[in-house]
Amino acid sequence: MSPRDTEVTDQVTDVCPVRDLLDRIGSKWTVQVIEALAGRTLRFTELERAVDGVSRRVLVRTLRALERDGLLRRTVHPTVPVTVEYALTPLAAGLGGPLTALADWARTHRADMVSARRAYDAAAARPALSGDPA
């Protein structure tokens, strides 16, 4: 009975499209894989180098999840050592827009979030004090 485990969010349990999508792009390497494949086709090993830092196992999981959602096309070439090519589908290309918008926002407001964090952490360090000591 298909030993496929459920890693990298393989389920459909969810009914909210937004959460569903976020489960996908929220997983650690998904966006970087999509970026790496933007406008080009890569083989498995090339992807492994392009993403850099991802473990083989997790890369496979990420690719499977993307393929399952129709965002990625996996092509096997029956050469002697088998070669496999990965490419984004038109569906994924359409996702690129909103994703880029989000990425742009993240880069633009990075500084705001960092300073907000510093302020928050600093405040947490002095629980009950109004005047700054010395």
61-87 b/e with 16+ CB inside 10 Å = b?
bbbbbbeeeebbbeeeeeeeeeeeebe
Per-residue binder mask for DNA (CB under 7 A), 59-98, x = binder: -xxxxx---------x------xxxxx-------------
Say if CB 47 and CB 86 are below 8 A apart. Answer: yes
Distance between CA 59 and CA 44 in Å, rounded?
Answer: 9
Q: For the CA atoms of 47, 27, 3, 82, what is the dihedral angle to 10 degrees? A: -10
33 binds, among its own copies, DNA, none (CB under 5 to 8 A by kind): none
Q: CB under 7 A: which stretch of 9-17, 31-39, 88-96, 108-116 binds DNA?
A: 9-17
The verdict on 54 binding DNA (CB under 7 A) reads yes
Applying CB under 8 A, among 26, 40, 55, 83 the residue interacting with its own copies is 26
How many CB atoms within 10 Å of residue 47? 21
Q: Please count the CA atoms within 13 angstroms of the CA of 84 that sit on its side-chain side.
A: 11
The verdict on 110 binding its own copies (CB under 8 A) reads yes
Q: CB under 8 A: which stretch of 22-30, 37-45, 54-62, 78-86 binds its own copies?
A: 22-30
The verdict on 93 binding its own copies (CB under 8 A) reads no
Which positions touch DNA (CB under 7 A)? 3, 5-11, 27-29, 43-46, 53-58, 60-64, 74, 81-85
